[in-house]
């Protein structure tokens, strides 16, 4: 007679690995909901255009020189 058949089995909620499997996705869902709440409630108010710094489009001299120097062939 097999003695393994006589051992009582645990219900699923008493097995520790089940809680590890359930806890991972549950934590991700809670974090997603918390992130959504923070995004909806705590969004920053955009500044009007008068308070934004002025960026001149043609003022990229150092970046342009570095790019051109890096792309130039060796002489």
Within a domain: residue 55?
no
User: Which pLDDT score, from 0 to 100, does residue 58 have?
Assistant: 57
- Report the alpha-carbon distance of residue 22 to residue 24 in Å, rounded: 6
pLDDT tens-digit readout, 19-74: 999 999 999 999 999 999 998 898 777 767 666 566 655 555 666 666 666 666 66
The number of domains in the chain is 1
32 is a domain residue:
yes
Res 3: pLDDT? 64
Largest distance between two CA atoms of the chain: 90
* CA pseudo-torsion sign 60, 62, 65, 71: negative
Tokens describing residue 72: 């130039």
**Phi, then psi, of 16 in degrees rounded to 5:** -65, -35
Please report the pLDDT score of residue 17 as a whole number.
94
Q: Is residue 56 part of a domain?
A: no
How much is the pLDDT for 44? 75
**pLDDT(18) > 80:** yes
Note whether residue 26 is domain-resident.
Answer: yes
CB-based contact 18:12 (threshold 8 Å):
yes
Residue 34 is part of which domain span?
11-42
């Amino acid at each position: 007679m097999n003695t393994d058949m006589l051992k009582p089995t645990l219900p699923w909620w008493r097995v520790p690995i089940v809680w590890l499997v359930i806890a991972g996705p549950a934590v991700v869902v809670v974090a997603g909901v918390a992130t959504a709440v923070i995004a909806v409630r705590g969004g920053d108010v955009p500044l009007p255009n008068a308070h934004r710094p002025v960026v001149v489009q043609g003022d990229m001299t150092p970046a342009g020189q570095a790019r051109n120097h890096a792309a130039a062939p060796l002489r």
